[in-house]
Amino acid sequence: MTDFGATGSHPHELRRGRSLFDLDDRTRRRNRSEGAFRWLGIGAIALSMVFIVILLGTIVARGLPAFTQTTITIEVPLDAAVLDPNGTGDPEVIRSVLTFGYAPLIERGLAGTVAATGVETELTSSQLPQLLSPGVAATLRDMVAADPSLVGQTVQVEALASGRADGYLKGRVTRESLARDTNLSPAHLDVLDALVEQDLARRAFNWDFILGADASESRPEEAGIGVAMIGSFYMMLTVLLLALPIGVAASIYLEEFAPQNRLTDLIEVNISNLAAVPSIVFGILGLAAFIQFAHLPQSAPLVGGLVLTLMTLPTIIISTRAALKAVPPSIRDAALGVGASKMQSVFHHVLPLAMPGILTGLIIGLAQALGETAPLLLIGMVGFIASNPPDGFIDGFVSPNSAMPAQIYEWAKRADPAYYERAWGGIIVLLLFLLVMNVLAVLLRRRFERRW
């Protein structure tokens, strides 16, 4: 210390005489704040993980019950006096009986079944059917219409329990919650308990939820996501058929052929901005351009697919360009060197090598499109109950349908808690699809990952 800082109290002077082995107070303090900061980071990660666990936990806990459904086994006398009063045996006459005609039969059957269990109840036989879905009559009618010879016999039916009765077995409905409910009373639950004891009411895996169609507001127990799944399938097919060729062509142009000019800049700016435009705006575009202007049908998966194609194109173009960029220039040079044209070098050499990367990006784009809801609301893919799968393959593109996320939204809007269960169940199905797609993308990336 020749020319400055020679004051005896200077920290530097203190330091110079000190052993490295004892920490001064300031270092201790600094280490404490270091630790605190690190804990802040750990806290942020932990909090995010807690959110994930709560979210996924909620989905699983609330959604799994949708995959089972309660049925009550009843013996229904298919009384010929009701179904075929004149004894004609004519299938046409039998088919003409409305579901109202079956209601008393079901009532009788259920009353008989309950009486057989020996449980005492103050409920009249006309109140008992509240345990069953209003859809049972239609099911029974379809059964008889398919086989008129059943008339006059007594058939055993696995009748769907009503949403609330089902909810009781799943723990969603309690005796207290029924106090303000006119649809079911605690007395019903006593009956139900007795039926469960004798294994006449039981929960079974609910294929109808996965394969079936949506049902009306009063019959949550019958609603399924199958038809919406078909709608989603057609939309994804549209996106795949349009976005893959267009996205790849646009990327090839921008990455391999585009000259440095204003037009190219304009395209690039447009792509990066479109990637950040809110999805609802694409819905407005779809409504104005495809439905108002081009008069395409409302609620058609084709229109949904078109909107989702426009929405996912930027994502797909960005990832495809990255995949093309990852192919080293030496490959292009090698092809050009043996006399291939630029176009040939791209299509014969660069594109095949970039394909795994392109497909990975495509799958991720499709996954994004599959979960998108907002634009579908505007082109009429909610509020519509498609009760049947489409008639033919081509018909599937244009016949009105819903889509999985739109169906979930529709259920979420219905006030009945039984529909919340359906919505969470639908989310499980949707997330399973997304999981499969993402795993596929990861595997593809791993399998074909290449170090140049």
Partner 1 sequence: MFDNRISERRTMTNEIKIRAEGVDVYYGDNHAIKDVSVDISDKMVTAFIGPSGCGKSTFLRCINRMNDTVASARVDGTILLDGEDIYDKRVDPVQLRARVGMVFQKPNPFPKSIYDNVAYGPKIHGMAKNRAELDEIVEKALKRAALWGEVKDRLAAPGTGLSGGQQQRLCIARAVATEPEVLLMDEPCSALDPIATAQVEELIDELRQDYSVVIVTHSMQQAARVSQRTAFFHLGHLVEFDETDRIFTNPTDPRTESYISGRIG
Partner 2 sequence: MPIFWLILAVLAIAVAGFLGARHRALSLAGADRRSLHSLPNYYGWSAAIAAMLPAFAMLALWVVLQPIFLNMRAAPLLEMDAGGAAALAMADVRRVANGLALGLSSGVLTPDQVASITPEEVRSTLGAIGVALGSEVSPQTLAAAEVYRAGQSAGTAAMSVVVLALAVAGAAWIWLRTRPETRARNGVERVMRYALLSAALIAILTTLGIVLSLIFNTVKFFGLYPADEFLFGLTWSPSFGGGSTLGFVPLLWGTLYISFVALIVAVPIGLLAAIYLSEYATSRVRSIAKPALEILAGIPTIVYGLFALVTVGPFLLDIFGAGGVLGVSWMRGATAVMTAGLVMGIMLIPFVSSLSDDIINAVPQAMRDGSYGLGATQSETIRQVILPAALPGIVGAILLAASRAIGETMIVVLGAGAAAQLSMNPFDAMTTVTAKIVSQLTGDADFSSPEALVAFALGMTLFVITLALNVFALWIVRRYREQYE
Closest C-alpha to 74, from 161, 197, 162, 173: 161
Smallest distance from partner 2 to CB 333, Å: 19
Q: Among residues 205, 207, 257, 448, which is the contact residue for partner 2, using CB under 8 A?
A: 257
Task: Report the 10 Å Cβ neighbour count for 298.
Answer: 14
Instruction: Rule CB under 8 A: say whether 45 interacts with partner 2.
Output: yes
Instruction: Rule CB under 8 A: say whether 24 interacts with partner 1.
Output: yes
Give yes or no for a contact between 221 and 418, defined as CB atoms under 8 angstroms apart: yes
Q: Which residues pair with 161 in a beta bridge?
A: 132
Q: Which residues pair with 158 in a beta bridge?
A: 73
CB closer to partner 2, 119 vs 281: 281
Give yes or no for a contact between 213 and 387, defined as CB atoms under 8 angstroms apart: yes
Smallest distance from partner 2 to CB 404, Å: 9
Closest C-alpha to 132, from 103, 108, 105, 165: 165
Smallest distance from partner 1 to CB 45, Å: 18
Instruction: Rule CB under 8 A: say whether 27 interacts with partner 1.
Output: yes
CB closer to partner 1, 9 vs 261: 9
Binding positions for partner 2, 49-108, rule CB under 8 A: 49, 51-52, 54-56, 58-59, 62
Exposed, middle or buried: residue 427 (CB in 10 Å: 0-12, 13-18, 19+)?
Answer: buried
- Crossing angle for the helix pair 404-413 and 226-252, to the nearest 10 degrees: 130
Point out which span in 5-13, 41-49, 93-101, 331-339 binds partner 2 (CB under 8 A): 41-49
- Considering CB distances under 5 to 8 angstroms, the limit depending on partner class, which of partner 2, partner 1, none binds residue 12? partner 1
Closest C-alpha to 88, from 32, 132, 21, 152: 152
Instruction: Rule CB under 8 A: say whether 288 interacts with partner 2.
Output: yes
Task: Report the 10 Å Cβ neighbour count for 410.
Answer: 23
Phi, psi of 183 (to 5 degrees): -80, -25
Host H or E run for residue 69:
strand 68-77
Smallest distance from partner 1 to CB 29, Å: 9
Binding positions for partner 1, 339-368, rule CB under 8 A: none
Instruction: Rule CB under 8 A: say whether 42 interacts with partner 2.
Output: yes
CB closer to partner 1, 15 vs 450: 15
CB closer to partner 1, 2 vs 260: 2
CB closer to partner 2, 111 vs 431: 431
- Considering CB distances under 5 to 8 angstroms, the limit depending on partner class, which of partner 1, partner 2, none binds residue 287? partner 2
Token pair 């409905």 in the structure block, residue: 173
Which tokens go with 336?
A: 């050009």
- Considering CB distances under 5 to 8 angstroms, the limit depending on partner class, which of partner 2, partner 1, none binds residue 19? partner 1
Instruction: Rule CB under 8 A: say whether 38 interacts with partner 1.
Output: no
Give yes or no for a contact between 309 and 238, defined as CB atoms under 8 angstroms apart: yes
Q: Among residues 10, 28, 31, 146, which is the contact residue for partner 2, using CB under 8 A?
A: 31
Point out which span in 108-116, 194-202, 330-338, 371-379 binds partner 2 (CB under 8 A): 371-379
Smallest distance from partner 2 to CB 93, Å: 29
Give yes or no for a contact between 30 and 36, defined as CB atoms under 8 angstroms apart: no
Q: Among residues 30, 32, 175, 450, which is the contact residue for partner 1, using CB under 8 A?
A: 30
- Considering CB distances under 5 to 8 angstroms, the limit depending on partner class, which of partner 1, partner 2, none binds residue 276? partner 2
Which tokens go with 176?
A: 């207290």
Give yes or no for a contact between 434 and 371, defined as CB atoms under 8 angstroms apart: yes
CB closer to partner 2, 129 vs 283: 283
Render the burial of 10-29: b for 16+ CB within 10 Å, e for the rest: eeeeeeeeeeeeeeeeeeee
Binding positions for partner 1, 305-324, rule CB under 8 A: none
Give the SS3 label for residue 353.
Answer: helix
Give the SS3 label for residue 114.
Answer: helix
- Considering CB distances under 5 to 8 angstroms, the limit depending on partner class, which of partner 2, partner 1, none binds residue 49? partner 2
Smallest distance from partner 1 to CB 312, Å: 38
- Considering CB distances under 5 to 8 angstroms, the limit depending on partner class, which of partner 1, partner 2, none binds residue 1? partner 1
Residues 6+ apart with CB under 8 A from 130: 162, 165, 183, 184, 188
Smallest distance from partner 1 to CB 451, Å: 18
Phi, psi of 174 (to 5 degrees): -120, 170
User: If binding means CB under 8 A, how many residues of this protein chain bind partner 1?
Assistant: 19
What are the residues binding partner 1 (CB under 8 A)? 1-2, 4-5, 10-12, 15-16, 19-24, 26-27, 30-31
